Amino acid sequence: MRTVIGLEVHAQLLTQTKLFCSCSADYFGAPPNTHTCPVCLGMPGALPVLNERAVEYALKAALALHCEIPRRSLFARKNYFYPDLPKGYQISQYDEPLAVRGYLDLPTGKRVRIRRVHLEEDAGKLLHTEDGVTLVDLNRAGVPLIEIVSEPDLSSPKEARLYMEELRRVLRYLGICSGDMEEGSLRCDANISLAPAEPAKTSRPDEVWLGTKIEIKNMNSFRAIEEALKFEEHRQREVLARGGTLIQETRLWNEKTEQTEPMRGKEESEDYRYFPDPDLVPLEIDDAWRERVKKSLPELPAQKRVRWAHEYKLPEYDIAVLTEERPIAEYFESVVKLYNNPKDVSNWMMSEVLKLLKETQTTEIPLKPEHCARVLQMVSSGQINRTVAKEVLEESFKTGKAPDEIVQEKGLSQISDESALAEIVMKVLAENPKAVADFKSGKEAVISFLQGQVMKVTGGKADPKRTRDMLLRKLREL
């Protein structure tokens, strides 16, 4: 048996206003029902007006996913009755979506086909209190979403996770979604089935689901996606191995028990009775609009990874870390332009700069690229050693001061004057007669101790290798 997985992802678009009204879409943390108006509250007679920016963002995503964009797409009403949906229907797209037939390349080289990308509005939120009361907050109702549906091309829980991570990376590179899964800005439902090892020869696209397709919801992190699918893969295998049969159903991932559980009947026999929304004209996207958006796309993570491997010859690991976020990737390239040693820049960024960035909990690196490049130059020219460089980097990161200024102010320049170093070495030898005697009796390992003493006296400003050489020279002269 092989595992067949397809994902349906919902991504909230980072527009200022909602999809069909001028309410602020930045609702997170706002008092309940403060971002509402007659349109998103579904008052009779209120008419929706399409947010052009949302269409533009959806187009960006669709084009970044290499989709075809039909000239015309249609908004439809998806009817269902639930308290988080004030109109009694959700405005979505059904048989004429914004975009079709795209793909996403994973870092492993696997290509996952995208069936469709469409625009729709989000529903409100229900809050179930401990007293058994349910409260309704409609701040989220009408916030623009795109739904991205993959073909069932994913063949393992791990691959599903990689797909989701890459999709998030793309959306964040485009600047159209925050990608925050805990806040629910990025959500994922999965379909999973077990099919015979060989695909049927006459299969239509749908027949890839030869096993019983089971939908899983409520996965709020990358880890949850992988774990829920692993659990489900295992569960289905066991049922089939026992000779049992699976029923097509929707199951919820329970984070606490780490199991999937059958969902209550609600969506079992759903009939949404989709029909075109008479309040909205068809959405027309002409060639000029499509081309304009296409031209505005940044270099995407997959392209960047290929180019970097070729241009900078960096290891795969370095490339993965440094291309994860667009500002970090762009920072790396700015530094390399000024100091052309990509591996050196990569090492310093991964070991020091990203560590400092993590401590500040921001995404913008306050250290100027030219300052970072300057510190690396000083190390390579021998003006400062690596220990001092870390100190200078941190200081420049925190204060914005130029590295040269810091080195001068603190007197951190490496002791490059031979006679000054010789003087310190002689002083250290005079103060440690036992170590000298040990060395003379053949315990050469004691050299490291003496080297450490010199580094201590100089506050780390002596060059370690030259110190060692000079110690050996002086000890042999004694």
Q: Which residues bind Zn ion (CB under 5 A)?
A: 21, 23, 37, 39-40
CB of 55 to Zn ion, least distance (A): 18
CB of 17 to Zn ion, least distance (A): 8
CB of 38 to Zn ion, least distance (A): 7
In terms of CB distance, is 19 or 373 closer to Zn ion? Answer: 19
CB of 97 to Zn ion, least distance (A): 24
In terms of CB distance, is 24 or 432 closer to Zn ion? Answer: 24
Burial tier of 9 (Cβ tally within 10 Å: 0-12, 13-18, 19+): buried
In terms of CB distance, is 90 or 396 closer to Zn ion? Answer: 90
In terms of CB distance, is 86 or 342 closer to Zn ion? Answer: 86
Distance CA 21, CA 121 (A): 11
In terms of CB distance, is 21 or 470 closer to Zn ion? Answer: 21
Q: Which residues of 191-201 are buried (b: 16+ CB within 10 A; e: fewer)?
A: bbbbbeeeeee
DSSP string, 432-459: -HHHHHHHHTT-TTHHHHHHHHHHHHTT
Quick one: DSSP state of residue 172?
Answer: H
In terms of CB distance, is 39 or 470 closer to Zn ion? Answer: 39
Residues in the chain: 478
What residues have CB less than 8 Å from 46, skipping those under 6 apart?
Answer: 37, 38, 39
CB of 356 to Zn ion, least distance (A): 42
Q: 300: which 2 tokens?
A: 């995407």
User: Are 141 and 84 a contacting pair, CB within 8 Å?
Assistant: yes
Q: Within 13 Å of residue 388, how many CA atoms lie on the same side as its CB? A: 29
CB of 25 to Zn ion, least distance (A): 9
Distance CA 248, CA 265 (A): 12
CB of 243 to Zn ion, least distance (A): 54
CB of 27 to Zn ion, least distance (A): 10
In terms of CB distance, is 122 or 226 closer to Zn ion? Answer: 122
Burial tier of 414 (Cβ tally within 10 Å: 0-12, 13-18, 19+): buried
In terms of CB distance, is 21 or 462 closer to Zn ion? Answer: 21
Helix (H) or strand (E) holding 227: helix 222-241
What residues have CB less than 8 Å from 259, skipping those under 6 apart?
Answer: 231, 253
In terms of CB distance, is 36 or 250 closer to Zn ion? Answer: 36
As beta bridge partners, residue 111 has: 105
CB of 20 to Zn ion, least distance (A): 8
CB of 121 to Zn ion, least distance (A): 10
Residue 471: which region, alpha, beta or left (left: phi > 0; alpha: psi -120 to 50)? Answer: alpha
Through-space distance between the first and last CA atoms of the chain, rounded to whole angstroms: 77
Distance CA 290, CA 269 (A): 38
In terms of CB distance, is 20 or 339 closer to Zn ion? Answer: 20
Q: Nearest 5°: phi and psi at 322?
A: -80, -15
As beta bridge partners, residue 102 has: 114
Neighbouring C-beta atoms of residue 469, cutoff 10 Å: 11
Nearest-CA neighbor of 87 among 135, 132, 54, 120? 120
In terms of CB distance, is 21 or 365 closer to Zn ion? Answer: 21
Helix (H) or strand (E) holding 121: strand 111-121
CB of 92 to Zn ion, least distance (A): 17
